[in-house]
């Protein structure tokens, strides 16, 4: 188990994200973090890194820009940011907790595998630091994300999560529904869902006659499986999902041992 409950008032909280150092969701998360503790560090990408997943920058050097004390930008991925924060920027004293987000858009179902927001929390977890990924779901056609909803509930979620133990190799993925704070039904602990993948690749021709491609939304809009994060978010619940980082399928492992005795 991680060493929780965490004394938030005396904690050292590290913030990161995948939307970049100037993202409105990061500013919202900073306000939340500062309401929880005195010492808040920010190490985030210089530019948006959405969809970066758990990627490391290996083929070029990384640069760290100190904007002001406790605030840094890295010209790399969310994973790079957390790694550099824990191993270099904050090496004198590791963070007590990592909060990643607040992402502009939900990270639900199989989004977890693509998300840079979740990847930052994943890297922290692998470095043995408790981590929570936070995302604000919204419908793009309806305008900007309702950041007030995330801000209204994030503090409560973090307080409750850090007051109880959760296993090592496990991060917590939190999503806030696309509604105003007063319409939120509550907080629901739910498993990760899964949506049908659609074929949404768009081929175009550039001015020189060569084809290029846009990857569009890859999820079919059908009724989500009940009892999952996908269903709960549509019903205006804040979703809390524990994500385990040991990918080993234990039943298959046992069967394979029979094949290769």
pLDDT tens digits along 160-203:
999 988 888 999 999 999 999 999 999 999 999 887 655 667 78
Share of the chain above pLDDT 90, in %: 69
Residue with more model confidence, 176 or 59? 176
Task: Judge whether 235 lies within some domain.
Answer: yes
- Record the tokens describing residue 257, joined without a space: 């041992």
Of 49-53, 80-84, 160-164, 231-235, which gets the smallest average pLDDT? 49-53
Task: Judge whether 189 lies within some domain.
Answer: yes
Of 8-12, 70-74, 193-197, 254-258, which gets the smallest average pLDDT? 193-197
The reported pLDDT for the residue numbered 180 is 96
The reported pLDDT for the residue numbered 48 is 79
Band of residue 217 on the pLDDT scale cut at 50, 70, 90: low
Domain tally, the chain: 1
Task: Judge whether 238 lies within some domain.
Answer: yes
Average pLDDT rounded to a whole number, residues 240-246: 94
Task: Judge whether 146 lies within some domain.
Answer: yes
Write out pLDDT tens, residues 81-113.
999 999 999 999 999 999 998 999 999 988 888
Task: Judge whether 141 lies within some domain.
Answer: yes
Contacts of 131 (CB under 8 A, 6+ apart): 97, 98, 99, 100, 120, 121, 122, 124, 125, 171, 172
Task: Judge whether 2 lies within some domain.
Answer: no
Residue with more model confidence, 215 or 59? 59
Give me the domain span that covers residue 38.
Answer: 8-195+223-259
Task: Judge whether 215 lies within some domain.
Answer: no
Q: Tell me, yes or no, if the pTM score tops 0.85.
A: yes
Share of the chain above pLDDT 70, in %: 94
The DSSP string of the chain is --S-S--GGG-EEEEE-SS-TT-HHHHHHHHHHHHH-SEEEEEEESS--TT-TT----SS---EEEEETTEEEESS-HHHHHHHIIIIITTTS--SEEEEEEEES---GGGGGT-HHHHHHHHHHHTT--EEEEEE---GGG-S--HHHHHHHHHHHHHHHHTS---TTEEEEEEE-SS-GGG--EEEE------PBP--EEEEE-TTS-EEEEE---B---PPPTTSHHHHHHTTEEEEEEEE-----HHHHHHHHHH--
**Does residue 131 have a pLDDT over 80?**
yes
The reported pLDDT for the residue numbered 86 is 97
Task: Judge whether 155 lies within some domain.
Answer: yes
Q: Taking all residues of the chain, what is their mean pLDDT, rounded to a whole number?
A: 91
Q: Which CATH number belongs to the domain containing residue 131 in this structure?
A: 3.40.1210.10
**Does residue 54 have a pLDDT over 90?**
no
């Amino acid at each position: 188990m991680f060493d929780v409950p965490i004394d938030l008032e005396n904690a050292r909280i590290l913030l990161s994200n995948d939307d970049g150092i100037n993202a409105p969701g990061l500013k919202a998360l900073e306000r939340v973090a500062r309401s929880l503790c005195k010492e808040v560090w920010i190490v985030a990408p210089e530019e948006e890194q959405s969809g970066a997943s758990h990627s490391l920058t290996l083929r070029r050097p990384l640069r760290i820009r100190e904007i002001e004390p406790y605030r840094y930008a890295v010209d790399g991925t969310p994973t790079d940011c957390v790694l550099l924060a824990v191993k270099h920027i904050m090496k004198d004293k590791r963070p007590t907790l990592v909060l990643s987000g607040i992402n502009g858009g939900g990270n639900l179902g199989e989004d977890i595998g693509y998300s840079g927001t979740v990847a930052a929390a994943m890297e922290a977890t692998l470095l043995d630091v408790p981590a929570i990924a936070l995302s604000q779901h919204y419908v793009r056609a309806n305008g900007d994300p309702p950041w007030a909803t995330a801000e209204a509930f994030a503090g409560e979620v973090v307080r409750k999560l850090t007051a109880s133990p959760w296993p090592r190799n496990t991060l917590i993925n939190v999503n806030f529904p696309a509604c105003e704070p007063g319409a939120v039904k509550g907080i629901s602990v739910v498993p990760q869902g899964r949506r049908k993948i659609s074929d949404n690749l768009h081929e175009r021709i550039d001015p020189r006659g060569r084809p290029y491609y846009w990857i569009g939304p890859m999820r079919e809009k059908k009724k989500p499986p009940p009892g999952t994060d996908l269903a709960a978010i549509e019903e205006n619940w804040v979703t809390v999902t524990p994500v385990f980082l040991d990918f080993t399928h234990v039943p298959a492992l046992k069967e394979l041992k029979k094949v290769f005795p």
